[in-house]
Amino acid sequence: MSMINFEPAALVLTIFCLIYSLITKRKQYTFSFESFKSIMLNRHFVFITLLISVILSAATSVFSVYLQSIATAELVFWQYFFHEIYYIFHDALSTAFALYIMNVTSASAGRGRRFFLIFLIPFFVSEILVFINIFSHIVFYMDDEFVYHRGPVLPVLYVIGLLYLILAFVYFFRYKKAISHADSRAIGILMLLSAAGVIIQALRSEIAVELFAESLTLLGMMIMLEERGGYTDAVTGALNREALISTTRRLIGTNQSFNIVLVKLTNMDLFTRLFDGREMDNLMMDVAAWLTSISSEETLYSYRSENFAIIYQRDPENRSTEAADTILERFGKEWKSGEATLKLDVAVSIVRIPIDISTTEDLIEMLTLGDYKKGSGSRLVPYDEILASRHDREIEQALRDAVDNKKLRVWYQPIWSVEKQRTIAAEALLRIDSEMLRQISPEVYIPIAEQTGIIRDIGLFVFEDVCRLLQSGHLQKLGLSYIELNLSVYQFMYDDLVELFENIRKKYSIPVESLNLEITESASTSDAPIVEQTMKALRDLGYTFSLDDFGTGYSNLKELISSTYTNVKIDKSLLWKADHNDNISSLLEGLIRLIRSLDYNVVQEGVETVSQLERTAASGGNLIQGYYFSRPLPENDFVSYLENEAKKAFEAKKAVEA
C-alpha cells in the first residue's frame, strides 16, 4: 500500500506561520505568565501553542516514517522516542484547538482556575497514557521487524481528541453570536476543514492528510482571526477603538460624509457590584449582539468598555436617526441576564462628519469624552452636550496645569464688623493666573476641581498660602482677627486632611483661632460619616467653622442648633432678592434676628449698596462682606487696604481727640 504523505508540507507551512507570527511581534504576543488562568485565557499564547504542536507532531511523524524505512535494532529507541513526542503534541493539538475556539468566542471569559483544571483532565489522562506507553506498549509498539503498530488503548486517545473537537463545536455554536459574522464564518469553515482532514485520515490511513488540514486551518486562523485579533474587542468581539479610528481616518481622508451613532451604557456601575465578571461579559455580549442585529449592513465597534459605535455611510441622516430611535426604544425596556432582569440606561448621540467633526484627531479626542452628565434613564445626548463635556475637560486640563505650574493665587475679600466699624476678618478666595481660567468664575471650575480630585491640591495650597500670609503677624497688628477659608466636602474624603492642615499650621506657627473654615450648607448636610468625624476632629483641635451660603439649599434648622458653627454666612442671592420683594425682605430680617439670638455671628455676603448695609445692620447682622467695602483683592492690595483703613481710623481718632 503506497502512502500519500502530506506531513512535510504541513511542517513547512506551520514553521512559516510560526516565524511570521513571532516576527510581526504584535503587542498581543507579549505574554504575561502571571497566573495559570491568564495563560489559559490568552488566545495568542494558545495560538502559538497550536502552531508548535502541529510543527512537532509533523516533524516527529516525518522522522518516524524515515526511521521506519531504515529501521535497525539500534534505532528502535529513536523510533519509540519520536512516536512518543508525536503523541504528546498531537494530544495537545485538539485541546489547544478547543481552548482557542473558547477564547475567540469569549466562551472562556470569566471562567476560573477550577474550570480550566477540569477542562484539562482528559488531556492529562491522554498524556499519562502516552507516557506509560514507554513501559506498557498499550498505545503503540514496534514488532520484531521494527514495524509500528497501534496498541489497544490508542482509540482512547482518539476519543479524547474527538471530545475536545466536539467541545469546540459546542462552544462555537453556543457563543457564535458574540463574534462578528465575518469571524464566525471564518471559524466555521476552518473547523470543517480540519474535521475533514481527521475524517479522511481515519477512513483512509494511507492518506496522511490530517496534520496538513490542521496546518491549513492555522494558516487561515492567522490570516483571518489573528491578524484581525488586534482589532477586536476581547469581550464582545466587536471591532475595537483602533479599528474605528482607522476606518474613520480612511473615510475622512477620502472626504466622505457619514454619521456615527455612539451608544454609551451609563448605569453599568450599578450592576458591576451585583454581578461577577462572567455575567457582565455575557450581558455585554447580548447588548453587542442586539446592536449588531439592528444594523446588519454596518459593523459594530466597541471603542471602550460599555461604549459602542456604528458608522452609517449610506443615507446617513435618516438611517442614523432611525437607529438612535430604535436603540432608545429598546433600552426603554428591560434586559434579561441570567436570572436577573435589568434596566440598562444609554446615552445615544449622533455625530455628523464633517459637520460636527472634520478631522480624525478631533474624533479621537471626542471618543475620550463622554463622561457627560449622567441623567437617569436612556436619552439622546445632543452633540452640543458632548462638546460641553469637552469644555469641562479643557478646564480640568487648565486646572492641572495651574497646580503643576504654580498659577494658583489667593485673593482676599474684607469682612467688616458693624460693631467695630472696621475690617476684622477676610475670606480667602481662589484665583488662577491662567489665560483661560481668569475668564471663568470659581463657581464653574471649583465643581470640576471637586469631581476630578484636584480640589485636594488646591485646598492645601490655599491653606498654606493663608498661613504664610499670617505668619509675620503684620495683619493681626492691623486689626485682622482671622481669615476664612472655603473647605470643600470633597477634601474630607482624604483621611489625612487633619494631619496635613496641622502640619502646615505648625510649620508657620499660626494659632488655630486665626483660621475659620467655611463649609457650604449643602455639604454640611451630606450624610457621609467622614464629614462629621473630620469636622469633630478639627473642632476638638480648636478650629471654628462658618456655615456658608445659608439660605440657598434646604436651610436646615438642625445645623443651626448643632452648635457646630460660630458664623452663619447668608447667601447673597437672598439679600438681593429682598431688595425687590417685601416678603423675602421680612423673612431675611427675621432670619438674621433668629440666628443672632442663637448667638451666632451673621455674615451677610454680597452687600453692594448702602441700603443693603443699613438693612442688614438694622436686623442685627454684625458682619458684612461685599463689594460695598471691597471686591476680593490680591494679597498686596489687601494689605494696603488694611493699612489705609488703619491709617484713616488713626487720623479720625486724632481728629476727635483734637
| Triad 334, 336, 338: Cα angle to 5° | 160
Q: Which residue has the cell 499660626?
A: 510
Considering only CA atoms, which of 184, 219, 193 is closest in space to residue 17?
A: 219
What is the C-alpha separation between 233 and 433, in angstroms, rounded? 43
Helix or strand (DSSP H, E) at 585: helix 582-597
DSSP one-letter string for 238-256: SB-HHHHHHHHHHHHHTT-
396 touches ligand C2E (CB under 6 A): no
Q: What are phi and psi of 419, to 5 degrees?
A: -70, -50
* Eight-state DSSP code of residue 600: P
622 touches Mg ion (CB under 5 A): no
User: Judged by CB under 6 A, which stretch of 212-220, 291-299, 304-312, 605-613 contacts ligand C2E?
Assistant: 605-613
488 touches ligand C2E (CB under 6 A): yes
Which of 127, 226, 345, 548 lies at the binding interface for Mg ion (CB under 5 A)?
548
| Strands 4-5 vs 207-208: parallel, antiparallel or unpaired | parallel
Give the footprint of ligand C2E on residues 617-656 (CB under 6 A): 625-627, 632
Which of 226, 548, 559, 645 lies at the binding interface for ligand C2E (CB under 6 A)?
548
608 touches ligand C2E (CB under 6 A): yes
Closer to Mg ion by CB, 287 or 603: give it: 603
Which of 354, 442, 479, 634 lies at the binding interface for ligand C2E (CB under 6 A)?
442
657 touches ligand C2E (CB under 6 A): no
Which of 197, 229, 316, 606 lies at the binding interface for ligand C2E (CB under 6 A)?
606
Min separation Cβ 548 and Mg ion, Å:
4
549 touches Mg ion (CB under 5 A): yes
What is the C-alpha separation between 179 and 165, in angstroms, rounded? 19
Which of the listed partners (ligand C2E, Mg ion, none) does 297 bind, with a CB threshold of 5 to 8 Å by partner kind? none
464 touches Mg ion (CB under 5 A): no
Closer to ligand C2E by CB, 148 or 629: give it: 629
Q: What are phi and psi of 105, to 5 degrees?
A: -90, 5
**Count of C-beta atoms within a 10 Å radius of residue 36:** 12
Residues 6+ apart with CB under 8 A from 585: 578, 579, 615
486 touches Mg ion (CB under 5 A): yes
453 touches ligand C2E (CB under 6 A): no
625 touches Mg ion (CB under 5 A): no
User: Judged by CB under 6 A, which stretch of 99-107, 138-146, 271-279, 602-610 contacts ligand C2E?
Assistant: 602-610
Residue 594 near residue 615, CB atoms below 8 Å: no
Which of 21, 486, 604, 619 lies at the binding interface for ligand C2E (CB under 6 A)?
486
Considering only CA atoms, which of 463, 519, 517 is closest in space to residue 489?
A: 519
446 touches ligand C2E (CB under 6 A): yes
Calculate the alpha carbon distances from 331 to 285, 327, 340, 350, 378 in Å. 15, 6, 16, 16, 7
466 touches ligand C2E (CB under 6 A): no
Count CA within 13 A, CB hemisphere, residue 273.
Answer: 3
518 touches Mg ion (CB under 5 A): yes
Which of the listed partners (ligand C2E, Mg ion, none) does 606 bind, with a CB threshold of 5 to 8 Å by partner kind? ligand C2E
Which of the listed partners (ligand C2E, Mg ion, none) does 446 bind, with a CB threshold of 5 to 8 Å by partner kind? ligand C2E
Return residues touching ligand C2E (CB under 6 A): 413, 429-430, 441-443, 446, 462, 486, 488, 518, 548-549, 572, 605-608, 625-627, 632
Return residues touching Mg ion (CB under 5 A): 486, 518, 548-549
